[in-house]
Structure 1
Amino acid sequence: MLTETKVELAPTAALSVETVQSVHHWNEHLFSFSISRPDSFRFRSGEFVMIGLPGDAGKPLLRAYSVASPSYDEKLDFLSIKVADGPLTSKLQKVQPGDQIYLGRKPTGTLVADALLPGKRLFMLSTGTGLAPFLSVARDPDIYDLFDEVVIVHSVRRVSDLAYHDELSAKLADDPLVGEVAAEKFHYVPTVTREPFHTTGRIDALIESGRLFADLPSGHAFNPETDRIMMCGSMDMIKSLGAQFEAMGFPEGSNAQPGAYVIEKAFAG
């Protein structure tokens, strides 16, 4: 458990107290977990929220985590790295079902459909745990009404880092709400940078070579008139590709002013 003597957490005006329902360790530095969802908790697919545990001084120790579950789910899923000396993740990686956890009451974020202009293809470009918000977006039925193609690109260092690989490779076939439409519209492009895999290289290299588009029905390179892009993950990836997209004529969007691409900086990992 988190501690030998369990301490009952107390909710605050900004935080509810939820219960860990399940934990899955993908490898030695990556895990996911599910917690209870308050009846009053509402969020848009792709948003993040503050979650946390008691800190050494007793005050809540909080970090921003993207919700990985769809907005209609009865539970809330999160994907996290493990950092041995991380103030929060060193404790969070030890949670077990039944443990308590803090959940912020106000989700927010820019990786939402509302921040994008209408388009035909939606590309969700992610590295590492930046995949999390896109797991939510890709299981949102509304997203398939807005786009003809919905594409998740996930770049990791090792094959074992490809969290949710089987579900995504199966085109979300087991999802009760989007399974049927995802079979036609959803596409998954996993790529590994430091081990042999059927697709290797960073996302920018896949874009440059055209490999990113090779297996898509449309097949063509990025077009600012019809393509919409979400990015979450390493800041190097976001800055580099953001500059490229700007040069190609993709305006950055926000909740206040929708654009052709959006990024998320506030996420754990």
Structure 2
Amino acid sequence: MSDSAADTATLTPTGALSVEEVLSVHHWNDHLFSFKITRPATFRFRSGEFIMIGLPGDNGKPLLRAYSIASPAYAEELEFLSIKVPDGPLTSRLQQIKPGDQIYLGRKPVGTLVADALRPGKRLFLFSTGTGLAPFLSLARDPDIYERFEQILLVHSVRRVSDLAFRTELESQLADDPLIADEALVQFHYLPTVTREEFPTQGRIGTLIEDGSLFIPQLRGPAKLDPEHDRIMLCGSMAMIREFEHSLEAQGFEEGSNNKPGDFVIERAFVD
């Protein structure tokens, strides 16, 4: 591990943590980056779940944070998307990792942003802001999603154009994905929106719903959210999630969970 990221000593696995190697790092801009690490042979997860990752803290104990897994469940490596916080206890050092460095990985993925927490439906809306995109990168590349839903719309709202991580891949409708390329070409739609710079689509997600621009021509069905057939996942800023939580419930949508599937889900672990 580089001196700037953590102690130079080799990390030690524990009962709750494995030690993995950083394979690659991509810096999207000055406050956003993604990275890939090795995946243990026994590690299993459902698309949309999160896991604890981290580095040694100043006291020598692991300093851990929850990160949604951005890679599909069948990938040989694990990918994550992160912001850069200059004074953040973990991210101030995590942003300096390089290939070959070591990192802690939890052994038990969990979460509610999973298909099992939703009732069957026709359209799946994935509403994300910032790094809330991460779990939906995994879900959008899951073959099971294309069997459960006729159409998938991934909406990514950011402040600046450079914050649109993975934009090229998503605009191509995941054409390079070996398992879902054919399905995604017909069923997957991507709608990026920017709030503080010029861009073809501008405005917050709520605004796009109100003015109808969310319901792009390629998206079949009514130009409104329909609790009978539409299912929704939310991930991103707490303000966005709180706003939609109350709005959706007022429209007749019921929140789902792993124990009781519903019409929309949020990741309570990040909000509460």
The residue number in structure 1 matching 2:210 is: 208
Deviations 1:79-108 (A, max 9, x none): 000000000000000000000000000000
Give the match's secondary structure for 1:168. helix
Deviation at 1:258, TM superposition (A): 0.3
The amino acid that maps onto 2:217 is: D
For the residues of structure 2 that align with 1:267 and 1:178, how far apart are their CA atoms? 29
For the residues of structure 1 that align with 2:40 and 2:216, how far apart are their CA atoms? 43
Aligned mate of 1:29, from 22, 28, 31: 31
For the residues of structure 2 that align with 1:2 and 1:59, how far apart are their CA atoms? 17
TM-score by length of 1: 0.98
- Whether 1:237 and 2:233 are equivalent positions in the alignment is no
Aligned mate of 1:224, from 227, 240, 257: 227
Identity %: 67
The residue number in structure 1 matching 2:17 is: 15
Deviation at 1:265, TM superposition (A): 4.0
Deviation at 1:218, TM superposition (A): 1.1
The residue number in structure 2 matching 1:247 is: 250
For the residues of structure 1 that align with 2:139 and 2:217, how far apart are their CA atoms? 21
For the residues of structure 1 that align with 2:144 and 2:153, how far apart are their CA atoms? 15
Contact 1:48-1:267 within 8 A present in 2 as well: no
Deviation at 1:267, TM superposition (A): 5.0
Deviation at 1:73, TM superposition (A): 0.3
Give the match's secondary structure for 2:214. helix
Deviation at 1:6, TM superposition (A): 1.7
Deviations 1:103-146 (A, max 9, x none): 00000000000000000000000000000000000000010000
The residue number in structure 1 matching 2:148 is: 146
The amino acid that maps onto 1:254 is: S
TM-score by length of 2: 0.97
For the residues of structure 2 that align with 1:171 and 1:104, how far apart are their CA atoms? 31
RMSD: 1.2
Deviations 1:185-233 (A, max 9, x none): 0000100000000000000000111100033331521100000000000
Where in structure 1 are there 5+ consecutive unaligned residues?
Answer: none
For the residues of structure 2 that align with 1:208 and 1:16, how far apart are their CA atoms? 46
For the residues of structure 2 that align with 1:159 and 1:260, how far apart are their CA atoms? 31
The residue number in structure 2 matching 1:258 is: 261
C-alpha change, 1:8 and 1:227, in structure 2 (3 Å) is: same
For the residues of structure 1 that align with 2:252 and 2:221, how far apart are their CA atoms? 20
For the residues of structure 2 that align with 1:192 and 1:7, how far apart are their CA atoms? 42
The amino acid that maps onto 2:197 is: E
C-alpha change, 1:267 and 1:51, in structure 2 (3 Å) is: farther
The residue number in structure 1 matching 2:201 is: 199
Contact 2:112-2:265 within 8 A present in 1 as well: yes
Which structure 2 residues correspond to residues 13-162 of structure 1 after superposition, within 5 A?
13-162=15-164
The residue number in structure 1 matching 2:170 is: 168
Count of aligned pairs between the two proteins: 268
Runs of 4+ aligned residues of structure 1 deviating over 4 Å after TM superposition are: none
The amino acid that maps onto 2:228 is: E
Give the match's secondary structure for 1:211. coil
Where in structure 2 are there 5+ consecutive unaligned residues?
Answer: none
Contact 1:68-1:136 within 8 A present in 2 as well: yes
